[in-house]
């Protein structure tokens, strides 16, 4: 994995929790983007984040399981754009490890009414709560990378792409 060591170093510098913007396409064909905390990096270089299966991003993933993620790391002056297939983990080792590492306030969200509902339509007494075990709506979304692009601000500017070609990666230097 030619870029994996660099991504792993970025994770370390970010205290293991870099923020990224994840883009998907809604069932209506509209672009959607939101911030997530990247919570780990698999050996194959793909990051993962936790999310709620009742959320809009999950509706998008059910239709089209491809995500693009954009990460701007200011200390390194570098932008990473990662595209890949979203693989949902539930009730497995990665899901339970990720659940165990979450702060209580984040866990409580998974016991609240579905994200995005109008508060006027929900039973406010049902908001909040917590639990020791991961509820059914908790999931980890891991990305199986298909394309990766790095833009180094330099100077000089340098733009490099890696595209998966079966078991190897094709690297190209691009005009920034």
User: Cα–Cα distance between 2 and 168 in angstroms, integer?
Assistant: 9
Q: If you write DSSP's letter for every residue of 55-115 in order, what string do you get?
A: SHHHHHHHH--EEEEEEEEGGGTEEEEEEEEEEEE-SSHHHHHHHHHS-HHHHHHTTSSPT
Residue 30 or 93 having the CB closest to ligand FMN: 30
User: Cα–Cα distance between 90 and 93 in angstroms, integer?
Assistant: 9
* Of 8, 37, 94, 152, the one binding ligand FMN by CB under 6 A: 37
* Of 7, 10, 23, 36, the one binding ligand FMN by CB under 6 A: 36
Chain mean position to CA 134: 19
User: Cα–Cα distance between 61 and 42 in angstroms, integer?
Assistant: 20
Contact flag: residue 12 with ligand FMN (CB under 6 A)? no
Q: How near is the Cβ of 140 to ligand FMN at its closest, in Å?
A: 10
Contact flag: residue 116 with ligand FMN (CB under 6 A)? yes
Contact flag: residue 63 with ligand FMN (CB under 6 A)? no
Contact flag: residue 57 with ligand FMN (CB under 6 A)? yes
Contact flag: residue 32 with ligand FMN (CB under 6 A)? yes
* Of 28, 29, 30, 35, the one binding ligand FMN by CB under 6 A: 35
Count helices and strands (H / E) in the chain. 4, 9
User: Cα–Cα distance between 61 and 88 in angstroms, integer?
Assistant: 9
The binding track of 127-146 with respect to ligand FMN, each residue x by CB under 6 A or -, is: --------------------
Piece of the chain touching ligand FMN by CB under 6 A; list 49-57, 80-88, 122-130, 143-151: 49-57
Contact flag: residue 76 with ligand FMN (CB under 6 A)? no
Q: Which residues have CB under 8 Å from 167's CB, separation 6+?
A: none
Residue 20 or 151 having the CB closest to ligand FMN: 20
* Of 5, 19, 122, 127, the one binding ligand FMN by CB under 6 A: 19
């Amino acid at each position: 994995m030619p870029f994996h060591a660099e991504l792993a170093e970025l994770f370390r510098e970010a205290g293991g929790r870099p923020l990224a913007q994840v883009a998907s396409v809604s069932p209506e064909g509209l672009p959607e983007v939101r911030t997530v905390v990247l919570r780990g990096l698999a050996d194959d270089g793909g990051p993962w984040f936790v999310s709620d299966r009742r959320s809009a991003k999950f509706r998008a993933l059910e239709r089209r399981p491809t995500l693009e993620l954009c990460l701007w790391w200011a200390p390194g002056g570098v932008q990473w754009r990662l595209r890949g297939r979203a693989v949902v983990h539930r009730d497995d080792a990665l899901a339970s490890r990720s659940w165990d590492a979450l702060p209580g306030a984040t866990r409580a969200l998974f016991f609240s009414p579905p994200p995005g509902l109008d508060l006027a339509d929900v039973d406010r007494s049902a908001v909040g709560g917590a639990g020791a075990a991961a509820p059914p709506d908790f999931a980890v979304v891991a990305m199986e990378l298909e394309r990766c692009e790095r833009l180094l601000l330099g100077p000089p500017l340098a733009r490099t792409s890696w595209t998966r070609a079966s078991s190897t990666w094709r690297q190209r230097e691009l005009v920034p």
